[in-house]
Chains A and B, each alone.
Chain A
Amino acid sequence: MHVKNSETQYGAVAQLFHWIIVGLIVTQFILANKVEDLQGLAKIPTLALHKSVGMTIFGLAILRLLWRLANPVPPMPSDTPPWQRVAAHVSHWALYGLLFIIPLFGWLMSSARNFPVSWFKLFTFPDLIAPNRPAYEFFHEAHELLAATLFYIAIVHIAAALKHHFIDRDNVLRRMLPVKLKPPAN
């Protein structure tokens, strides 16, 4: 496997970005769920971790997008019907967008409530807006709604990958894995 993308497979950098962010997103859902069941002081460390992981995703998303723009990606299989091409493009760009907007809304929500965001207690991000309860409530709702949207798009994304692998029997899933590609079925 190469560092950069080839004509047929994603390179190591793209794969690392993909799978590391997958792991971090799963962590975020687990932490967010955990916070719902906690009260008062107990909330603080779990929320702090959620914010630190969130800002990590935000930073990685920026780097990932830059890498993506600078690197051609393997083309879709030649027999991909137009509706699937559209669905793939729309869902992938939506996922990229959500990787930015969800943590950004989290950052805005924290700012609006004067609970500044610390990155693993090493440094603190500046507040984006002045304290404002209605703004906090808006960004909180939006953050949760967009996270739910991400969840459902991810389900579709995973289902499509599995369809390619088990039904179409092509390399679409394999090429995002550090494995040797199989020759085409036809």
Chain B
Amino acid sequence: MRNKFTSLLALTLAFGIAVAATQWTLQPKQSKLTFVANQAGAPFEAVFEKFTADIKFDPKDLAGSRFDVKIDLNSVNSSDGERDDTVKGPDLFAVKQWPTGHYVADKFTDKGAGKFSATGKLTLRNVTKDVPLEFTFEDGKDGAWLKGSASLKRLDFGVGQGEWKDTSSVANDVKVKFALLLKK
């Protein structure tokens, strides 16, 4: 009786572990989250120095996979203090009111050859909109690399109030890029 119970328990656990997508741990020092914006025709890159990423991912269990990323918007760094202050200000990120950006993706599609796409929701300035992702996933001996990008329009989230609504000097289109190193 005890043997049956133990083996049933073991089987349930094994089944449970096999079905749940892998829970990964972000390696913050090697990971990068950036965005590219366009100023008067010239693209410039800015990095978010602080963010967390709760990644559950398994190419064989896309249904159980989930990305939950929280971005400290105050940690934006475009290599220019004056521009960073403007970006954090009330007309753009408004970090005093909404210090965190939140992205959750829970629907994944395998596009073959290590490429995937996901649909998810981004919340910025208390506005939530769908933002799809394209990414690659490569599991190696030093960890797994999750790399990809997303495109969004800043005005969709109200990033650009007052004179900053004008897109002739600062484009509406912004590209977000990420390269995350994950370990089990």
Contact = CB atoms under 8 A, between A and B. Distances in A.
Interface of A: 40-42, 44-45, 47-48, 113-118, 120-122, 124, 131, 133
Contacts of A120: 41
15 contacts: A42-B163, A45-B40, A45-B168, A45-B169, A48-B39, A48-B41, A48-B169, A114-B45, A114-B79, A115-B44, A115-B83, A116-B42, A117-B42, A121-B40, A131-B80
The contact size tier of chain B is: 10 to 19
B78 interface: yes
A41 B164 CA distance: 7
A131 B83 CA distance: 13
Contacts of B43: 116, 124
B81 interface: yes
Main secondary structure of the interface of B (DSSP, over half): mixed
B131 interface: no
Contacts, number: 51
Interface in B21-58: 39-45
Interface in B67-93: 78-81, 83, 86
A137 B45 CA distance: 21
**In the complex, the 9 A-B pairs of residues with the closest C-beta atoms, listed nearest first:** A121-B41, A131-B79, A48-B40, A118-B41, A118-B42, A114-B79, A44-B169, A116-B42, A124-B42
Interface of B: 39-45, 78-81, 83, 86, 163-164, 166, 168-170
Nearest to A43: B169
B81 A41 contact: no
A138 to B, nearest CB: 16
Contacts of A118: 40-42
B42 A40 contact: no
Contacts of B78: 114
Given A114-B79, A115-B80, A116-B44, A40 B39 contact: no
Contacts of B81: 133
A118 B171 CA distance: 14
A120 B40 CA distance: 8
A127 B161 CA distance: 30
Contacts of A117: 42
A40 B41 contact: no
B174 to A, nearest CB: 16
B163 A124 contact: no
Contacts of B42: 48, 115-118, 124
A47 B81 CA distance: 18
B39 A113 contact: no
Contacts of A42: 163
A45 B81 CA distance: 20
A117 B40 CA distance: 9
Contacts of B79: 113-114, 131
The interface centre, meaning the residue of B45, B80, B83 with most chain A CB atoms within 10 A of its CB, is: B80
A113 B45 CA distance: 12
A115 B170 contact: no
